[in-house]
């Protein structure tokens, strides 16, 4: 895998997160290239990560074994048009939300190996959750796994339709936790805590809870029960959350995200 030439089309936020992960994991920066319509962006990425830059999509494609489509969904059409027919045994990885593998093979040709991925923004700190789907040969799936695993955890689905649910849970998910953090920080302040302290308490509590959730082997439900003594402070808070219909609100919120994902597709 270390010999792969990996080309990014679009050098925005998600591309940078994945480039940072790959180079930090030891992939040679000379074997990573990027093209973007902004020269300033290319200069910044080249300077920061020592990677190669390409002035156009065709040049990048010719030099790459793996092509990563990292433009906005509405920019995918023109990019695929520019790519045209691909020579060789390349792997095309798309992280564009809502763009199906059939749409991409429809533009690039049925023989092209496509892997669709839904990453999330914690890729920026190497703690991403990327969910992958592909019906391509194992070699292409392994290449995609290698690229995404450099920025966090990976999981595979074998039904592309599940990408809507994935988008609702992990794609959009960081925003739900950020909202809860905002609300807890504000509530802490209204209970008299200085802003800095309230932010620190919430951030570290989130980090600690996330580590317990992912490292203890215990379910979220059990961990919640273990902090909740009968008649205690946590129970008082949780009762207020249940009375405020939090479970129903969360179910509705994720359904709305999945519905919007289907509409955008």
Ligand X SMILES: NC(=O)c1ccc[n+]([C@@H]2O[C@H](COP(=O)([O-])OP(=O)(O)OC[C@H]3O[C@@H](n4cnc5c(N)ncnc54)[C@H](OP(=O)(O)O)[C@@H]3O)[C@@H](O)[C@H]2O)c1
- Say if CB 105 and CB 85 are below 8 A apart: no
Minimum distance of ligand X from residue 12's CB (angstroms): 2
For residue 139, the minimal CB distance to ligand X (Å) is 24
Length of the chain: 265
CB of 30 to ligand X, least distance (A): 21
The residues that touch ligand X, with contacts defined as CB under 6 A, are: 9-15, 35-38, 41, 57, 70-73, 75, 78-79, 95-97, 118-121, 171
Residue nearest to ligand X (CB): 12
Closest separation in Å from C-beta 233 to ligand X = 35
Comparison of 67 and 198: residue with beta carbon closer to ligand X: 67
| Closer to ligand X by Cβ: residue 4 or 118 | 118
Smallest separation (angstroms) from ligand X to the CB of 86: 16
**Nearer to ligand X by C-beta: 82 or 248?**
82
Query: In terms of CB distance, is 93 or 202 closer to ligand X?
Result: 93
- In the complex with ligand X, the residue whose CB is nearer, 37 or 222, is 37
Q: With respect to ligand X, which residue has the nearer C-beta, 4 or 99?
A: 99
CB of 183 to ligand X, least distance (A): 21
Q: How close are the terminal C-alpha atoms of the chain, in Å?
A: 32
């Amino acid at each position: 895998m270390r010999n792969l030439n990996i080309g990014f089309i679009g050098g925005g936020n998600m591309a940078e997160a994945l480039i940072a992960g790959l180079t930090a994991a030891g992939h040679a920066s000379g074997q990573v290239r990027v093209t973007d319509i902004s020269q300033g962006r290319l200069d910044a990425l080249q300077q920061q990560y020592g990677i190669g830059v390409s002035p156009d999509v065709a040049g990048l494609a010719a030099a790459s074994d793996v092509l990563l489509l990292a433009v906005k969904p509405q920019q995918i059409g023109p990019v695929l048009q520019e790519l045209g027919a691909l020579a060789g045994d390349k792997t095309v990885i798309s992280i564009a939300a809502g763009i199906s593998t059939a749409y991409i093979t429809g533009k690039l040709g049925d023989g092209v190996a496509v892997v669709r991925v839904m990453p999330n923004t914690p890729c920026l700190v190497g703690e991403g959750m990327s969910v992958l789907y592909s019906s391509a040969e194992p070699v292409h799936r392994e290449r995609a796994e290698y690229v995404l695993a450099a920025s966090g955890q990976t999981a595979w689905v074998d039904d592309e339709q599940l990408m809507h649910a994935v988008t609702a849970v992990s794609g959009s998910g960081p925003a739900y936790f950020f909202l809860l953090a905002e609300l807890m920080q504000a509530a802490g302040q209204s209970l008299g805590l200085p802003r800095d302290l309230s932010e620190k308490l919430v951030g570290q509590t989130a980090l600690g809870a996330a580590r317990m959730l992912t490292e203890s082997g215990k379910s979220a439900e059990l961990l919640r029960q273990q902090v909740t003594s009968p008649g205690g402070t946590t129970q008082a808070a949780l009762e207020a959350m249940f009375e405020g219909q939090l479970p129903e609100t969360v179910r509705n919120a994720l359904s709305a995200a999945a519905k919007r994902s289907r509409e955008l597709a």
